[in-house]
């Protein structure tokens, strides 16, 4: 079955925590280049589009093989602009610019650079092979115990899951694990959900990842330094 897959990478220019973040160098390469190269290397994206309001980001994105068929409107490039309307605009603007419809969109956050092209391929193939599936995304497996405050305002705490009251070994086969949603690493969803301003549908599948590198999300100078050290020592996930 021939389907069109659109990869959308949102990268606005007005970062305050780290000015010029999306074109900052990590191991000699612009930050945004890592997401573009991963999308292209996955081999499953019909088109790779960067939505940005910044001419420098647009120029760098094109240099590394992405398309920038439109500039993002100012109202979708503020600090408070939500991701879903930005992605929906990018989908509709790209369909108009390229005169084609897309079946699946892939969302990659440029500040999450430690991803494998295989995860992108796996997410898209999960949707291709199961028509009942709405979305597939990366999730980090956690073997820690978690607490949350009660809702009655009495400053008491409760376990996220009751069985956490019994401390089990990490290898216990009966232990339920928690999974942290990491849609910024990879998220593939049918475009019908994005048209409803939803990045993730109801029926999902997780790509389970234990690689520590996917916890690095670059938003300030310390994050950038950490990413550089990890990249130089361990490189990218395979």
Structural domains of the chain ordered from first start: 5-138+180-234 (3.90.550.10)
Listed in sequence order, the residues at least 6 apart from 163 whose beta carbon sits closer than 8 Å to its beta carbon are 175, 176
What kind and span of H or E run contains 41? helix 31-42
Q: Give the model confidence (pLDDT) of 143-153 as tens digits.
A: 888 999 888 77
Listed in sequence order, the residues at least 6 apart from 17 whose beta carbon sits closer than 8 Å to its beta carbon are 219, 220
Distance of alpha carbon 181 from alpha carbon 198, whole angstroms: 15
pLDDT in tens, the chain (238 residues): 589 999 999 999 988 889 999 999 999 999 999 999 999 999 999 999 999 999 999 999 999 999 999 999 999 999 889 999 999 999 999 999 999 999 999 999 999 999 999 999 999 999 999 999 999 999 999 888 899 988 877 778 999 988 887 887 777 777 888 999 999 999 999 999 999 999 999 999 999 999 999 999 999 999 999 999 999 999 999 8
Q: Give the model confidence (pLDDT) of 153-173 as tens digits.
A: 777 899 998 888 788 777 777
Listed in sequence order, the residues at least 6 apart from 161 whose beta carbon sits closer than 8 Å to its beta carbon are 146, 176, 178
């Amino acid at each position: 079955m021939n389907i069109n897959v659109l990869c959308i990478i949102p990268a606005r220019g007005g970062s305050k925590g780290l000015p010029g973040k999306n074109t900052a160098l990590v191991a000699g390469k612009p930050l945004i280049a890592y997401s573009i190269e991963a999308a292209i290397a996955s081999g499953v994206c019909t088109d790779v589009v960067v939505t940005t309001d910044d001419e420098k980001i647009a120029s760098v994105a094109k240099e590394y093989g992405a398309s920038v068929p439109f500039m993002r409107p100012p109202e979708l490039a503020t600090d408070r602009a939500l991701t879903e309307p930005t992605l929906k605009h990018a989908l509709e603007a790209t369909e108009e610019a390229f005169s084609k419809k897309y079946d699946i969109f892939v969302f990659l956050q440029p500040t999450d650079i430690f991803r494998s092209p295989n995860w992108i391929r796996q997410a898209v193939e999960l949707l291709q092979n199961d028509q009942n599936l709405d979305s597939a995304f990366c999730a980090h497996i956690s073997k820690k115990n978690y607490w949350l405050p009660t809702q009655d305002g009495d400053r008491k705490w409760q376990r996220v899951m009751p069985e956490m009251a019994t401390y089990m070994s990490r290898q216990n086969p009966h232990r339920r694990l928690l999974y942290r949603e990491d849609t910024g690493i990879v998220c593939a969803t049918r475009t019908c959900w994005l048209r409803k301003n939803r990045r993730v549908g109801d029926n999902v599948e997780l790509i389970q990842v234990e690689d520590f590198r996917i916890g690095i999300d670059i938003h300030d100078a310390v994050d950038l330094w950490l990413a550089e050290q990890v990249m130089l020592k361990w490189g990218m996930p395979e």
